Each structure stands twice: as C-alpha cells, then as structure tokens.
Amino acid sequence: MIKKYFPLLRVSHYVKNFYIFLPLFFSGEILNHDKFLKSLPVFFAFCFAASSIYIFNDLMDIDYDRQHPIKRNRPIPSGKISKPEAYILAAILLAIAVAIGFGISNQVLLVVLAYYILNIFYSIKLKNFALIDVTIISIGFDLRVIAGGLATGILVSKWLMIMVFLLSMFQALSKRMDDLYLMLKDADKQVRRSIHGYSIEFLQIVLSMLTGVMLVCYIMYIISPEILNRLGEYSYFTTLFVLLGLLRYLQITFVKKTSGSPVKILVNDRFIQLSILCWLISFAFLIYIK
C-alpha cells in the first residue's frame, strides 16, 4: 500500500541536496565527525521539503502532465493517487521538514521555510515566466548551501555561492532545451508555459555564455591567494575535469539533443560521472592528503 506513494517523493532527486555538504567539503571539514553529523539533519529536512514541493507541483500541473508523454504516467495525473491523498502526504512531509529545521536552529528553519515558500510561489505562478523560473531554481540550490553553512558554523565563500548559482542555472536552461526539442517533435504536446519565452538559438547562446562564465569563476576561485595557500600551486589542474564535464553536458544538449533531467544525466552518463569523480578525487587529495 505504501509503495504507491513512493514515486511521489522523487527520491532520485535527493541527490540535489548533497549541495548541503559543499561548505564542509570545500572548507576541508568533511571528515569532521561532529560537523558532518550536524549537516545530516539539514539534508533530510530539505529532502522532506523537496518531496512535499514535488507533490504540490504535480497537483498544480495535472492537466499539463496528462498530455506529456512521460509525466502522464506519474501517480497523480494517472489517477493512481487522489488529490486529497496527495495534499495530506505533502502536509505531513512539510511538517517533518519544519520539525527537523526547528530542532537544528531558528536560522536553518528560516532557510528551509524560505526554500519552501519560494518553491510554492514557483509552482503556483512563477514557473510560467521565462528566466524567472530558472532563477528561482538556482536560488534554491544556494539556499541549500547556506543552510549547510549555518548548521556547521562554516562561512560560505562568495565564489562557492556564485558557482552553485551559475551551475544550477546552466542545468535548468539545458532542461528547457530538452522541452523545446520535445515541442518541436510534436507541436501538440503540452510543455511548461515558460518554454514559449525561450528558443533553441537563445538557449545555445546563453548556455555557451554560462559555460565561459563558470570556467572563469572557477579559475578565479582556484587561483585565489586563499586557495593557493591552502591547496598549493597545482590546484589549477582540477579545472580540466570541470571543463570536460561542462563540455560533455553541452554535447548531450546540443549534439545528441537528449538532455532531459540533470538528475538523469548524472545517473546515466558515464563520462560526466567520471569527470565528477576525477574532480572529487583530485580536490580531495589537495585538501585532505597533500
């Protein structure tokens, strides 16, 4: 009986909440047992809050999802779960997220609530406006990083905030590219309303621009005096894996035209997985072993 509710939670999307651990990783404190344990409740708070938001968003998008080739199979648009059941589950998940946030600190609770409220407005109306939609998504990732920093008492670097914002916007815009490809294949298929504010040409330009800006930001971060003193002069070698990961993402989006969900790409594409793994290993070596 419980299994029918599980797809509503979007557990595969919980990978997005690992951004909460970035302040720990970049500060060199990821092996600090006490601080890691302080981050874990924040991770679960955002998982429950995100699941509640996904359910609410599905409730708002029933008519559109029923005409989507993939989303129409989701529990709510397919009729497997009723609206009242979905609303009750969303409320329970929100209550758990709020309780966890309250148990950590008032500051973390405020960030969790800000994330939730922002995404509720997104689900109700703001997702229908081009550029505003991807901006809200990107702010949500920054809020995850802020919450992780607050829970552990780590000051979050401005470079980290900028890079997280740009990367999440890059991923959101590539998803809009996928929606455009879907619409071009079948004009009768319903897609998100904001897609009419985008075009293939526009997104190609913006994604290319964001790639360059992200690389510049990362290079400025990695060669900053603070990082050079902490990681050493060879830290710039990690830029190679960042570049390869971004280029692969562009290749999937522009050449293969099968971008889809960023989570699906992360889960399924071996090249990007290897790029991220090599980056993590090299960065971890510089922080923890060198």
* 38-84 tens-digit pLDDT: 999 999 999 999 999 999 988 888 877 777 667 777 778 877 888 89
Contact 24, 36 (CB under 8 A): yes
pLDDT band at 196 (very low <50, low <70, confident <90, very high): confident
Whether the pLDDT of residue 131 is over 90: the answer is: yes
Closest C-alpha among 146, 168, 166, 172 to residue 157: 146
148-195: pLDDT as tens digits: 999 999 999 888 999 999 999 998 998 888 888 877 776 555 567 788
Contact 199, 135 (CB under 8 A): no
Q: How far apart are CA 13 and CA 272, in angstroms?
A: 17
Q: Provide CB contacts within 8 A for 217, sequence distance 6+.
A: 159, 162, 163, 166
DSSP state of 187: T
Contact 252, 283 (CB under 8 A): no
pLDDT at 260: 58
Contact 102, 109 (CB under 8 A): yes
Domains and CATH numbers, the chain: 8-156 (1.10.357.140), 174-290 (no CATH)
Q: What number is the average pLDDT over the span 209-221?
A: 92
* Half-sphere exposure for 101 (CA within 13 Å, toward CB): 25
Of 12-26, 27-41, 50-64, 136-150, where does the model show the most confidence?
136-150
Looking at every residue in the chain, the average pLDDT score rounds to: 88
Q: Exposed (0-12), middle (13-18) or buried (19+): which is 34, by Cβ within 10 Å?
A: exposed
3-state secondary structure of 131: coil
